[in-house]
């Protein structure tokens, strides 16, 4: 599928009139604005080519009819290689153990063509829903299907490079990074700007050399210049303190590459004092945390006996933010054995996450986990804040208030590079 001819979808009419969150407007453009109770302002945007070149205030009385707009979205944590595999390897029990077993079963039949097909479907969906960049963990290294996954990724990344910024993190068994195969994989990832990953929680640390393997992975990341993004403490078990082991290692020897922590569910089970200390350490090391509400709510506090989940598995987002830690929200699994829902739709993810996390969109700290924070995690040039000279990459909803956006699903209009997507 090629890029549509730009002339067919030139922006009209100009200027573009929208409602926009004040929290995502550069302070240089804040004069003469009427701010409503939702923290929204009315703006007229002039767009030349691929760039916003003019931002003017509009009277508040125009508000009820203007569409609420947001910056094009950034997905900080997904799994493109396994998206849409639920129908092939369903997980009706919904447990983590069964999800892993189904995942490994699916590895055995992976072909590059099949993985490329679902990656392409995922990216097509994400692009049409207004994503501009995605970081995907990919099952690579030492497992059946790894070569197929690598080939599919190379092909798909090339096909989408003119439309989406894509980052790959190899989700591999931690011990792989201490082997020759792991070193070779890290070299190949470094050439792509990719990262090293893995999953570490209390239940997979017993009786193994995991501390040594974690230290080896960090050394390799530093040597090869690869960022690190780990699935850490994805459990409600309060004994899971793998993040603290990571912090110990990083405090002993700071890394010259970026480190990101994903999940952090067990943090919510620690005492307030213990949590405060961990948050402080994360803030000092400038390590962001990605919270993944959909998968966490689906998998956590689930057992084979029927019971209603009490522990929801969410990282303590507000306490992390209070302590100065950058928190981003990601979509994680989409229609795979780990979570049957999701559809690479940033507004649907927002609609799910807001009541679950109590992140209020009328406050800056409620918006940044969906906008500026994921852009920061991926190291993107644009932080999602509207200012003269920023990219003309926007998502327009059908409504004019946060309440209306929460009330029903949205049909989105997406502006990329100053043109409407068809
Ligand atoms: Zn994940």
Tens-binned pLDDT, residue by residue, of the chain (422 aa): 344 444 445 666 689 999 999 999 999 999 989 999 999 999 999 999 999 999 999 987 655 689 999 999 999 999 999 999 999 999 999 999 999 999 999 999 999 999 999 999 999 999 999 999 999 999 998 778 899 999 999 999 999 999 999 999 999 999 999 999 999 999 999 999 999 999 999 877 776 788 999 999 999 999 999 999 999 999 999 999 999 999 999 999 999 999 999 999 999 999 999 999 999 999 999 999 999 999 999 999 997 778 899 999 999 999 999 999 999 999 999 999 999 999 999 999 999 999 999 999 999 999 999 999 999 999 999 999 999 999 999 999 999 999 999 999 999 999 999 999 99
The pLDDT assigned to 208 comes to 72
* Structure token digits, residue 164: 């989406």
SS3 321: helix
- Which residues have C-beta under 5 Å from ligand 1, the single-atom ion? 332
Cα of 198 vs centre of ligand 1, distance in Å, is 10
* C-alpha closest to that of 329 among 319, 339, 314: 314
Report the 10 Å Cβ neighbour count for 336. Answer: 27
SS3 398: coil
Report the 10 Å Cβ neighbour count for 301. Answer: 16
The pLDDT assigned to 392 comes to 97
What CATH number labels 73-359?
Answer: 3.20.20.140
Cα of 30 vs centre of ligand 1, distance in Å, is 38
SS3 300: coil
SS3 192: helix
* Structure token digits, residue 352: 């799910």
**CA 353-403-360 angle, 5° bins:** 45
What CATH number labels 6-72+383-420?
Answer: 2.30.40.10
SS3 223: helix
Cα of 55 vs centre of ligand 1, distance in Å, is 38
Segments of the chain assigned to CATH 2.30.40.10: 6-72+383-420
Residue 366 CA to residue 371 CA, distance in Å, equals 10
The pLDDT assigned to 333 comes to 98
* Structure token digits, residue 275: 């949590």
Is there a catalytic annotation at residue 234? yes
Residue 5 CA to residue 2 CA, distance in Å, equals 9
Cα of 410 vs centre of ligand 1, distance in Å, is 26
Cα of 157 vs centre of ligand 1, distance in Å, is 19
For 273, 318, 389, 391, 398, the CA distances from 414, given in Å and listed in that order, are 44, 30, 19, 13, 12
The answer, yes or no, to whether the previous bond of 68 is cis (omega within 30 of 0) is no
Cα of 333 vs centre of ligand 1, distance in Å, is 6
Report the 10 Å Cβ neighbour count for 238. Answer: 16
Cα of 196 vs centre of ligand 1, distance in Å, is 13
Measured in degrees and rounded to the nearest 5, phi and psi for residue 40 equal -110, 150
Segments of the chain assigned to CATH 3.20.20.140: 73-359
- Catalytic residue, from 234, 244, 251, 273: name it: 234
Cα of 141 vs centre of ligand 1, distance in Å, is 16
The pLDDT assigned to 4 comes to 43
* Structure token digits, residue 22: 């004040």
The pLDDT assigned to 344 comes to 98
The pLDDT assigned to 9 comes to 57
**Where do we find the tokens 């989406």?**
164
Residue 141 CA to residue 143 CA, distance in Å, equals 6
């Amino acid at each position: 599928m090629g890029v549509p001819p730009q002339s067919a979808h030139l922006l009209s009419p100009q200027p573009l009139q929208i409602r926009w969150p004040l929290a995502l407007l550069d302070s240089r453009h804040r004069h003469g604005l009427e701010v409503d109770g939702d923290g929204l302002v009315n703006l007229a945007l002039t767009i030349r080519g691929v760039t916003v070149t003019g931002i003017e205030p509009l009277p508040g009385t125009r508000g009820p009819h203007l569409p609420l707009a947001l910056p094009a979205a950034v997905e900080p944590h997904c799994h493109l290689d396994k998206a849409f595999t639920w129908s092939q390897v369903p997980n009706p029990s919904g447990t983590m153990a069964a999800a892993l077993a189904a995942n490994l079963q699916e590895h055995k039949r992976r072909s590059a063509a099949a993985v490329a097909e679902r990656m392409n479907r995922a990216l097509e969906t994400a692009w049409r829903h207004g994503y501009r960049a995605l970081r995907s963990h990919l099952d690579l290294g030492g497992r059946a299907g790894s070569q197929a996954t690598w080939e599919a990724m190379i092909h798909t990344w090339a096909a989408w490079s003119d439309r989406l910024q894509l980052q790959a993190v190899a989700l591999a068994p931690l011990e792989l990074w201490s082997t020759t195969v792991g070193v070779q994989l890290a070299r190949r990832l470094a050439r792509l700007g990719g990262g090293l990953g893995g999953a570490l929680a209390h239940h997979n640390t017993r009786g193994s050399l995991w501390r040594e393997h974690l230290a080896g992975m960090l050394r390799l990341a530093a040597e090869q210049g690869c960022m690190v993004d780990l699935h850490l403490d994805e459990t409600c078990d309060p004994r899971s303190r793998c993040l603290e082991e990571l912090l110990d290692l990083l405090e002993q020897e700071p890394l010259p590459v970026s480190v990101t922590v994903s999940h952090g569910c067990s943090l919510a089970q620690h005492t307030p004092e213990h949590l405060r200390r961990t948050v402080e350490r994360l803030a000092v090391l400038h390590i962001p945390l990605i919270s993944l509400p959909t998968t966490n709510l689906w998998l956590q506090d689930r057992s084979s006996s029927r019971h209603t989940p009490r522990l929801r598995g969410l990282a303590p987002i507000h306490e992390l933010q209070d302590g100065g830690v950058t928190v981003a929200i990601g979509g994680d699994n989409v229609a795979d054995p780990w979570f049957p829902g999701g559809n690479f739709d940033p507004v649907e993810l927002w609609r799910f996450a807001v009541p679950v996390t109590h992140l209020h969109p009328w406050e800056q700290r409620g918006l940044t986990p969906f906008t500026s924070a994921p852009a920061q995690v991926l190291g993107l040039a644009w932080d999602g804040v509207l200012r003269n000279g920023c990219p003309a990459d926007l998502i327009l909803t059908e409504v004019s208030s946060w309440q209306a956006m929460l009330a029903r699903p949205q049909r989105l209009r997406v502006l990329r590079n100053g043109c409407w997507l068809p």
